[in-house]
Chain A
Amino acid sequence: MNSPRVLIVDDNALNVELARVVLQAAGVAVDCAADANQAVDQITAFEPDLILMDIQMPGMDGLELMRRLKASPQNQGIVVVAFTAYAMNGDQAKMREAGCDGYIAKPIDVATFTATVLSFLDAHQGIRRA
């Protein structure tokens, strides 16, 4: 089986670096984008299985980018996980309601991060298989 492909969309360079190193150490293929416009290009070029999407970003925010992604048929299969420091009560529900397939709050737990990310992928593929 090919290694899963994850695109990290986040404007904070340290967040990107951390998630990239952790995922790559587990054998995940990783690409990064610093804003929504870059992300659109990377989705076409990199063809990710899953997108780790920061919500607060300059220009177009993560939720808007996700709505656009989900609106186009060829991107329907991509799992979008909200990857955000908005971790107050109700934030997760808000992201899920907006259409995110998963939610990971910052700060991350390095030990379980990769497994959590991949679990969203599995869950999604399970649903599709069923």
Chain B
Amino acid sequence: MSTPRTDSDVAGALSLVAQLHRQTDYMRAELRHLRQDMAQVRTEFSETHGARMLEANENLVLAALRSETMAETAVSDLGELQCASQRDALLRLAIDSANIGEWEMDLSTGAMIHSLRHDMCFGHDERQLEWSVDTFLKHVHPDDRDEVTQGLAQATRQLSDWQAVCRVVWPDASVHWISIRGGILHDSGHPARLLGIITDVTAVRQAEASRKKLESLELENHQMQESSRLKNQFISNMSHELRTPLNAIIGFSDLLVMGLVPEGSPKHREYLGHIGGSARHLLHLINDVLDMSKVESGKFEFFPEPVDLQQLVSELGDVLHTSLQRKSIQFAIKIDEALKSLVIDPARLKQVLYNYLSNAIKFTPSGGHVTVSAHAEGPDQFRLEVEDTGIGIAPDDLPRLFVDFQQLDASYSKLHQGTGLGLALTRRLAEAQGGSVGVRSTLGLGSVFHVVLDRVHQAQPRGSA
């Protein structure tokens, strides 16, 4: 038979462990062991409860043994007591090795019983004689105090478990992190006490903070490297794209200056044309680069005015007439007649549309179709689409399309030249006007690029959000 004294001790140990269980991994096993009891050797089955708690990066195993003697019913008092003291020793070892402080709180008075290790969590090397809930709360960092107070009040009110991780201020003014947990202890049916543990988790918090800092630095570094790589690639592309027309400009002017081509001859005129054409191409490139940097620095200004979309698109068609004709591309315009009263910066809209159209023409084989269509979108916006029957874009490449400095084909063998700015600039222009861009495409069949813009562009005065 077991004595009440022994029962009580075991229950107390179990109560503590059970409170830990709720927050931690829990295991239960039935162990068979031999026990020498008085003069006899018996076989017993014990149920073992263990709680594993991760604290301060150490695996701490708290275990409590409860003897459920299944083979025998008659157990001597001496045996029980020995068993109980073993359990206590084990529990003590676990608590000590994990640097766990213990405390008990009288819920009616706020008075507390506390271990030295509890006090050490608050920066005291010696046992504190005066300690209460108020003393505790005074030690909590002012920024955490309200939350801790509320949490404790709620646990007391609802008679539920309490858990807090917060900062405490030590007497030397240094700030430390503690983890505190408690559970209601039912004393002869009346919940009167909160029983709990406390650990200093400063090291864990610091390690965690360092790890996070390291992670974010690594990410930052990676992003910087990637951005630097893209910029280098962009500069290399830019240099190549600028040198190509410059080769014609400088080379043909040298030829003419050196008198290698008779003045007034058809070749002379042709070479002058090459110089002019290449210079204009160069200007276009430079304008794109400048626009890009203006949009990037938020210095782009828009001048909205009433716009006749049908007329604007027709004008662009005229500008692109030669390229359209060269590849025998059928060009169609489908503007919804209901789409009226647009107020938008016509030059910027043209720029966006020109980028889409020149891309469409560039990537559409001879005899293909390019169509511009427009209709209202939602109550305030409109959608402009440029559809082509070109080579299309692989799904994997779609996300890279509108990214600065990115060209789908970055190899030397790239079929289509460019600075990698056109679509990125288009996106920036649309977004700077509160709009958006997008594309859908089927490889080999064609692409549809779109821009969605406000029908009436409210140009924001500079400086306002």
A binds B: yes
B413 & A25 in contact (Cβ 8 Å cutoff): no
Residues of A within 8 Å of B278, CB to CB, are 14
Cross-chain pair count, CB within 8 angstroms: 82
Q: Which of A5-38 contact B (CB under 8 A)?
A: 12, 14-15, 17-18, 21-22, 25
Residues A22 and B251 in contact, CB atoms below 8 Å apart: yes
Bound CA span A84–B243, Å? 9
What interface size band does chain B fall in?
A: 20 to 34
CB pair B239 A85 closer than 8 Å: yes
List the B residue with the shortest CB-CB distance to A58: B415
Inter-subunit contact A18/B255 (CB<8 Å): yes
Considering the chains assembled together, what is the distance between the CA atoms of A91 and B412 in angstroms? 12
B243:A61 contact, CB within 8 angstroms:
no
In the complex, chain B residues whose CB is within 8 Å of the CB of A68: none
A40 to chain B, nearest CB (A): 15
Q: Is the CB of B258 within 8 A of A59?
A: no
Q: How far is the CA of A107 from the CA of B248 in the complex (A)?
A: 7
Query: What is the predominant secondary structure among interface residues of chain B facing chain A?
Result: helix
Chain A residues with CB under 8 Å of B236's CB are 86, 88, 91
Residue-by-residue, is A31-58 near B (CB-CB < 8 Å gives 1, otherwise 0)?
A: 0000000000000000000000001111
| A78 interface residue per 8 A CB criterion | no
Q: Does B224 contact A (CB under 8 A)?
A: no
Looking at the complex, which one of B241, B246, B274, B412 makes contact with A107 (CB distance below 8 Å)? Answer: B246
User: What's the Cα separation between A86 and B411 when bound, in Å?
Assistant: 12
Given the contacts A14-B278, A18-B248, A107-B251, A85 and B240 also touching, CB distance less than 8 Å: yes
- B412, A21: Cβ atoms under 8 Å? no
> Is there an interface contact between B251 and A110, defined as CB atoms closer than 8 Å?
yes
Answer whether residue A111 sits at the interface, using C-beta atoms and an 8 A cutoff: yes
- Would you list 27 pairs from A and B whose C-beta atoms are within 8 A, ordered by A residue? A12-B244, A14-B248, A14-B252, A14-B274, A15-B244, A15-B248, A18-B248, A18-B251, A18-B252, A18-B255, A22-B251, A55-B412, A56-B240, A56-B413, A57-B413, A60-B413, A61-B412, A84-B240, A85-B240, A85-B241, A86-B236, A87-B243, A88-B239, A107-B243, A107-B247, A107-B251, A108-B250
**B→A interface (CB under 8 Å):** 235-236, 239-241, 243-244, 246-252, 254-255, 258, 260-261, 274, 278, 411-415, 417
CB-CB nearest 9 A-B residue pairs: A110-B254, A61-B413, A61-B412, A85-B243, A107-B247, A106-B247, A14-B248, A18-B251, A58-B415
